Structure 1
Amino acid sequence: MRSGASGVPALPLDHPALLHERTLRELGPHATRFALEVVAECGSTNDELSLAATRTDERIAVLVALHQRAGRGRRGRAWHAGDGLTFSCAWPIAPDAPPPSALSLAAGLAVAEAIEDLGVRDVALKWPNDVLVDGRKIAGILVELVSGQRHTQRAIIGIGANLGSVPDYPPDGGRPATAIARHLPAAPAIETALATILVRLAARLDAFAAGGFAAMQHDWSQRDAFAGHMVRIDGEGASRSGRCEGVDADGALRLATASGIERILSGELSLRSAA
């Protein structure tokens, strides 16, 4: 595992071919699962993959950008990765596949497992798409669905993970942040982090295709940072407060209110601890 003396991953930012080569080496026998492309810079990896032609083989298309000019998270917020890793995957959704509404939860679980594989302890999840350590955001997921020809559909799964240095508080006032390097003696090499996440993601996508989110509901719930806590959910011009009762088998958030259990399905809501 390579890293710079400052804890920032030791990879020249103007050598995408080098990252490509190193990542394939790190992936080893798993490399055949992915069609990997690395670019020095782009606007948004999600946007680029959305416009790319659909692959005719079964590999997962992966686009990594060493720098994104217009990276974004949910609700159009800018993604501030600092010394981090930003990439997107295009996953074809089979006609008989389970509904993709909980795909962001499955991807978040994969990223949490990968970060623990890298050595970070006690990685938690915040519905629907944030990965936390000590209550601070260490990674985020953005899933967008793209329709193709003959009623085909792809999920574009954008992932941003903080590896080295990152501001404690993003400029847009989002959730306090942390980075993998803060919880390890040194940040992992970018290719190591990328390969580790991809392997975990492929496994969780396979499980999702076979059994939907229900197949991993228990594993996700074991990491639920807000289960049993009083929370407030803001979005769509309204706020709701109640006790978080975890998630259902389809990924819906269960909110206990004075009128009973409400199921929250929309991915455009944000979850915050109630004051």
Structure 2
Amino acid sequence: MFIFICLCLWSLPGVSGVDVVKSESESVMEGDSVTLRTDVTEILKHEEIDWRFGKILIANINMKENKSTLYNTSATEIFRNRLKLDQTGSLIIMNTRTTDSGEYKVTSISRDTPLITFNLTVYAHLPVPVISRNCSSSSSAQNCSLACSVVNVVHVTLSWYKGNSLLSSISVSDLSISLSLPLEVKHQEKNSYRCVINNPIRNQTTHLDISKLCHTCAELCICCCGSTEAVIRLALSALVGVATFSVLICDFRSKNLQQKKSVQTSASDTD
């Protein structure tokens, strides 16, 4: 019985000399605050500990003497005026940025071992998906080709939904890129479609208005060609109009000048 009791005490957290390693994951949206909680004060109250971001030393806490230090060095410049420590040794990061993502460690100085590790992910704000007409040659009188697009995104999934049913999706993890997801619908159909971008915390949704985007070529000829080509055509039309107007003005002035010369010549002959 005595041996059994001793073994139980040795395995309990909070007993001096026990290395307690706890690993947690935290996620937050950019701009929000997050608290990385130690929650092991019984162990830490007799410890001097360091907070590290990767290999960067960002804070030191002497729990026994109730002293704490936040380091302001070139290595910690990314956290300027955005860190706080509370009475339990927990670290508070304010106005978070995506560059704050990474591993944070609480390390015991006396034992030189990690007590707690946190994996923090800070997600960037989500853009609103943009739905546009894809006026390609593949479009027909019955079908309307569309595309849902977002730019400069990371750690997101872009999806098309018909009602509550998922039709298609595309994801990006580590690289910041632009995403575009096609969809083809009938011109006159009444189904509800939406394009959704989401990360593990939030989402943004744009609903499709078929009546506005899916005109036929006869109704909206400018859509039958690419937007760039349409702009070029409009510009050329404007130039032709200006040139025609200039020619008419020059012709009118030339005729007036000829008439004046004729009048002057007739007057000279009379004299």
Q: Shorter chain as normaliser: what TM range? A: under 0.3
TM-score normalised by the chain length of structure 2: 0.23
Larger radius of gyration: 2
Q: Which has the higher strand share?
A: 2
TM-score normalised by the chain length of structure 1: 0.23
Indicate the structure whose relative CO is greater, using CA pairs within 8 Å and at least 6 residues apart. 1
